[in-house]
A and B are shown apart, each in its own frame.
Chain A
Amino acid sequence: MSKILEFTYHRYLGKDPKTNQQIEKFRPTLPIRISKGDKSSFYFQALIDSGSDRNLFPAGIAEFVGINVSKGGKREIEGIGGHVIRSYTHSVLITIWNSISFETEIDFSYDHQFPLLGRHGFFDKFKKISFREKKRTIEFKT
């Protein structure tokens, strides 16, 4: 059965580059956790990033649930400015805050902090994902 989930953008702190004043930045993040076998991570905010080909998380999250990160399939991931980082792919169970869970692949890297939910392995698990920038909400249809 189809299900609709709605989440509010999360508040972060930033600085206005012109005035150097403190400002709030709202980002489309989602509280999720990962599990491997019997061990689960704590919930953490992950950025819903349609510009990312794949899911990319910091390696520490995988290590906490007992994954031997460097044993995963190696990938090179390129970002803005041509920076390339190494990652290791593992299959895990993702749970979205008190709702749905699914198995997916995540690339884990020691060179990356902000967890990213990308098109392969996250967006492709839903029928529709709608960003409502004015309302600062995001809606998922399963």
Chain B
Amino acid sequence: MARASSNILLPYENKWVAVSKDGKKVVASATDVKVLSEKLEKLNIADAIMTWVMPFNHSFSPFHV
């Protein structure tokens, strides 16, 4: 599996994104993972990988509230 370049995440702080399998582009985004999943289903994109883009000035320990 290709490694995503983190720069493509720059416009998506605090959002869920779906990244193409090759890691080169964000194919969809949403503030909620369910909404993002529904978008992927509509776009018929089966092989993207979703990830949560944390606020850039946050560290993780151990959950975000």
Chain A: residues with CB nearer than 8 A to chain B? 8, 10-15, 17, 22, 24, 27, 29, 31, 41-45, 47, 49, 51-52, 56, 58, 60-61, 63-64, 77, 79-80, 83, 85, 97, 111-116
Contact = CB atoms under 8 A, between A and B. Distances in A.
Contact of A27 (B35, B40, B60): B60
Given A14-B56, A61-B37, A114 B64 contact: yes
Contacts of B16: 113
B33 A64 contact: yes
11 contacts: A13-B9, A13-B13, A14-B57, A17-B57, A27-B60, A42-B40, A60-B32, A63-B34, A97-B1, A113-B52, A116-B63
A22 to B, nearest CB: 7
B26 interface: no
Nearest to B61: A80
A17 B55 CA distance: 13
A10 to B, nearest CB: 7
Interface residues of B, number: 36
Given A47-B60, A51-B62, A12 B40 contact: no
A64 B37 contact: yes
B63 A80 contact: yes
